[in-house]
Amino acid sequence: MAALGLVLLGAAAQADEPPRPATWRVALTGFARPAHTFTQPIPGALETELAAACTTAAGGVRFLSREEFAALGVDWATFSAQSAAAASAELADLKQDWIRDDNQVIQCAILRVRHPVDNATLAVLAPDFLKRFTPVFGRKILLAIPDTHTLFLFPRLASHYPEYGARVLAVVQKSKSPVSREVFELSATGLRAVGTYEEQ
């Protein structure tokens, strides 16, 4: 029994260790975040924030509390830079569907996770996100992030994003992990909120 006790104590100590830098992630969060989560604001956003998070051994993602973030001993710039290094892998793992009009012109791209435990928002700040979609949508991209499993992408110019309001809101309402009704612009200068889908 003594040996068993030592094993359990060792496991508990390991579980209390701060997450390793390789597991650090920045997620977008809104409706479903725990109140104690360490977050940073997004310019213009009213219901969405950037949240410190980490991947888990089970393959999921969990948010870090303010106390856990403080225990890391790093500032937000260091944390987010480390997270960005892993975000490209998150982006590469998303499924991609193109939505075209009758003339085969692309109106929208929908990115979805492959597994229920995955979080699509981890890919938004990937260094190569803009590079991947600029040839299609231009240097400024609009994003809707209704839940942790889905991203809607639109061009900033000549955009049809207002037409997708009902579809985006339906995802928000039905999802078990909703994120936001807001619309964001992603460009070389960063991420900012530019609007909100409202019920008609």
pLDDT tens by residue, 21-65:
999 999 999 977 778 999 999 999 999 999 999 999 888 899 999
Question: Is there a single domain that holds both residue 140 and residue 184?
Answer: yes
Is residue 10 included in any domain, yes or no? no
DSSP 5-31: HHHHHHHHHHHTSPPPGGGEEEEEEST
* Number of domains composing the chain: 2
Question: Is there a single domain that holds both residue 98 and residue 191?
Answer: yes
**Residues 161, 144: contact at Cβ < 8 Å?**
yes
**Residues 175, 121: contact at Cβ < 8 Å?**
no
Answer with the residue of higher pLDDT: 189 or 85: 189
Q: How confident is the model at residue 16 (pLDDT cuts 50, 70, 90)?
A: low
List 141's β-bridge partners, or say none.
Answer: 155, 186
Is residue 61 included in any domain, yes or no? yes
Q: pLDDT digits over 136-167, tens only?
A: 999 999 999 999 999 999 999 878 999 999 99
Q: pLDDT digits over 67-114, tens only?
A: 999 999 999 999 999 999 888 889 999 999 999 988 998 999 999 999
Question: Is there a single domain that holds both residue 64 and residue 138?
Answer: no
Detail the DSSP E strand segments found in the chain. Answer: 24-29, 39-41, 49-55, 61-63, 95-100, 106-112, 141-147, 150-155, 182-187, 190-196
What is residue 12's predicted lDDT score, i.e. its pLDDT? 37
Query: Can you tell me the distance from the alpha carbon of 165 to that of 130, in angstroms, rounded to the nearest whole number?
Result: 23
And the tokens for 195?
A: 């609007």
Question: Is there a single domain that holds both residue 78 and residue 149?
Answer: no
Answer with the residue of higher pLDDT: 65 or 11: 65
What is residue 34's predicted lDDT score, i.e. its pLDDT? 79
DSSP SS3 for 157: coil
Which domain covers residue 158, as residue numbers?
94-196
**What does the pLDDT average to over 192-198?**
96
What is residue 18's predicted lDDT score, i.e. its pLDDT? 86
Answer with the residue of higher pLDDT: 195 or 10: 195
Query: Is residue 6 over pLDDT 50?
Result: no
Q: Whole-prediction pTM value?
A: 0.87
Question: Is there a single domain that holds both residue 140 and residue 61?
Answer: no
